[in-house]
Structure 1
Amino acid sequence: MSSITPNPELDVPADPSPSLDSTIGVFALGTFVSLCLYGFCIQQFYRHMRQPAADDWVIRSLAIGVMVLQTIHAIAPMHACYYYLVTNYDNFPSINVGIWSIDIIPTIAAMIVLTAEFFFARRVFLIGPWYKVVAVVAMLCLLTGSGLSIGLTARAYQIKDFATFGEKAKLTSFLSVGFDAIGDCLLAAAMITALRRSRASHSVSSILDVIVLYVVNTGLLSGILHAVTAILSIRYPGKLYWAALGLIVIRVYGITLFSVSAALSLNSRKLMLSRGIRVFNDEAFGRNIISRAHRLATVERWNVPHGREDDTPPVITVKVAAEIEVHGHGDSDLSKDYAHKGISRASP
């Protein structure tokens, strides 16, 4: 009785394909979570657009632009998942080959980051002189990260293999996400500092309010998630863990922008100009009242934290001088003038 000896060369594939779990599998999970958050973005954007168009046109334009980019960013991974899991479900080696819908994701993400973070940079810029430096440095970091993200798209069109692309572009991926994380954290730190110095930080009454105010509304959450994404990109360059988390991070940008603009800045805040102007005659006229009113209105419109001195309505000093016309020099001439005008002069 003869026995058949298995041939090891037939049992082990010559060109092993990548694992589904670490490539398209984790990318699909990130797509599912990001689509759930995309629905929340739509709800927040709907709340914003239902309000009267009395807010700053720049803020409204930013909201519309971010929503359009978020929609494109949601369609691209959906197409990629359909391509790999449906169209090529029986073509296992195609899992390791990139397509255009994955290649354009870094560029679309960079556009969303720049558009959304401009809103927060503008808020920080309006707080005060020292905060202007922080806003400029943060925007430079975000511009650098966006430029590197566009470079990733160009490299992805040249290198189609996921493993090869991950090894050759891991430094670029790390720097692009890392610069975005630095810019986010700088803006968040400036907003938290301003909140702590103003009365806005003491207006909350629960732990949930504190978390929403300091973590979500300041953009700190997106900065933390971007930092984790940068670590994953340098730790697992040949896998798509960082790409999956990146889909979720980009959705957090939209949620933060729409939450702050709709709920705080655009829908419920009242401008300083609507609070009225008080007039006194016992104080000296200070800074230009019109320019101050415009500045306070801008600060309120962009939901910028400010101290107690900015909470008081503008004050205009009006001084009234009474002038008495006297004809003559003597007391008798003054009496005749009163009598001529029909005014009785009271005795001292």
Structure 2
Amino acid sequence: MPLHANAISSSTPPDPLPKLAALDNTFGALLLGTYGSLLLFGLTAHQTYRYFHLYPQDGRILKSLVTTVMIAETLTSIFCMHICYHYLVKSYSKPQALQFGIWSIDVYPLVTGISMVISQSFFARRIWLVAPRFRLVVVVAGILCLAEIGFFLTGSVKAFIIPTFQQYEEFQWLVSAGSTMAVTADTLLTAVLIIVLHKSRTGIRRTDSMIDVMIMYAVNTGLLTGVFNLLSMLFVRAAH
């Protein structure tokens, strides 16, 4: 018998890897979501570049708002990548590590909430300036935004205190409540903005065409965001 065959037959077989739990509807879903969010992050970075290139005359407040949103979105993408790397690469073959939260996943709800509130404040300010009779709606949306950031902040604090995902399940409603506040605020602000723009029609084709474009922009940036937030919340509830 050849020497190498004897060596192979006498060698000790490697220890089997521990059996891993199915990750399709947990970290697998997070990984797919991260892929999609990184594509959208690229679009956000491109839009930010075009904004500063095309509108250098805008005021400092608006430029600061855009910069802050870009920073928040960058942090969100970094956190998502860190979460995926920690659980799916660094903790590979360590099933016990999948039970515990890490700082990036704990702070993620708060950073996401901050990004949402900043974006919503832009639309709220626009309605406040161009439609004074709807300022009460803006106030209501502002209260919802404060409640939203409060729920997300509490959810992040609880995540740092509670070590395991299983123990955190009873506080998952905090994140769901924050998402509900975000969806409601988005819907209110978008609906009012569409109403204001629709009533601004003059009958002149060129002007009305511009208004139609603005309405489509409001739907794409406000209503669609709210729809995806709602779907995200429903998927989280369905997973539990």
Q: Shared fold by TM > 0.5?
A: yes
Aligned 8 A contact 2:197 2:214 in 1: no
What is the alpha-carbon distance in structure 2 between the residues aligned to residue 110 and residue 103 of structure 1? 13
Aligned partner of 1:110 among 113, 120, 123: 113
Residue equivalent to 2:7: none
The 3 A distance-change label for structure 1 pair 221 and 85 is same
Whether 1:202 aligns to 2:204 is: no
Residue equivalent to 2:27: 24
Gaps of 5+ in 1: 1-15, 238-348
1:210 Cα deviation from its structure 2 partner: 8.2
The 3 A distance-change label for structure 1 pair 161 and 19 is farther
Q: Partner amino acid for 2:199?
A: R
How big is the alpha-carbon RMSD for the aligned residues of Structure 1 and Structure 2?
2.2
Q: What secondary structure does 1:21 align onto?
A: coil
Q: List, as ranges, runs of 4+ consecutive aligned residues in structure 1 with deviation greater than 4 Å.
A: none
The 3 A distance-change label for structure 1 pair 160 and 211 is farther
Residue equivalent to 1:213: 217
What is the alpha-carbon distance in structure 2 between the residues aligned to residue 145 and residue 18 of structure 1? 33
Residue equivalent to 2:122: 119
Q: What secondary structure does 1:78 align onto?
A: helix
Please say which structure displays the higher CA radius of gyration: 1
Whether 1:71 aligns to 2:74 is: yes
What is the alpha-carbon distance in structure 1 between the residues aligned to residue 73 and residue 224 of structure 2? 18
Q: Map 1:44-55 onto structure 2 (within 5 A).
A: 44-51=47-54, 53-55=56-58
Aligned 8 A contact 1:17 1:92 in 2: yes
Moved more, 58-67 or 128-137: 128-137
Gaps of 5+ in 2: 1-18
1:110 Cα deviation from its structure 2 partner: 1.2
1:113 Cα deviation from its structure 2 partner: 1.1
1:233 Cα deviation from its structure 2 partner: 3.1
Residue equivalent to 2:184: 182
Bigger RCO of structures 1 and 2 (CA < 8 A, at least 6 apart): 1
1:49 Cα deviation from its structure 2 partner: 1.4
Q: What secondary structure does 1:104 align onto?
A: helix
Q: Partner amino acid for 1:199?
A: R
The 3 A distance-change label for structure 1 pair 44 and 37 is same
Q: Map 1:328-339 onto structure 2 (within 5 A).
A: none
TM-score by length of 1: 0.59
TM-score by length of 2: 0.83
Residue equivalent to 1:245: none
Q: Partner amino acid for 1:190?
A: V
Aligned partner of 1:172 among 168, 174, 196: 174
Equivalenced residues, count = 218
Whether 1:36 aligns to 2:39 is: yes
The 3 A distance-change label for structure 1 pair 118 and 80 is same
1:222 Cα deviation from its structure 2 partner: 1.1
Residue equivalent to 1:82: 85
Q: Partner amino acid for 1:79?
A: H
What is the alpha-carbon distance in structure 1 between the residues aligned to residue 230 and residue 208 of structure 2? 29
Aligned 8 A contact 2:20 2:93 in 1: no
Larger proportion of helix: 2
1:214 Cα deviation from its structure 2 partner: 4.4
1:29 Cα deviation from its structure 2 partner: 0.6
Whether 1:154 aligns to 2:160 is: no
Q: Map 1:151-300 onto structure 2 (within 5 A).
A: 151-166=154-169, 168-199=170-201, 202-203=208-209, 212-217=216-221, 219-237=222-240
What is the alpha-carbon distance in structure 2 between the residues aligned to residue 211 and residue 82 of structure 1? 40
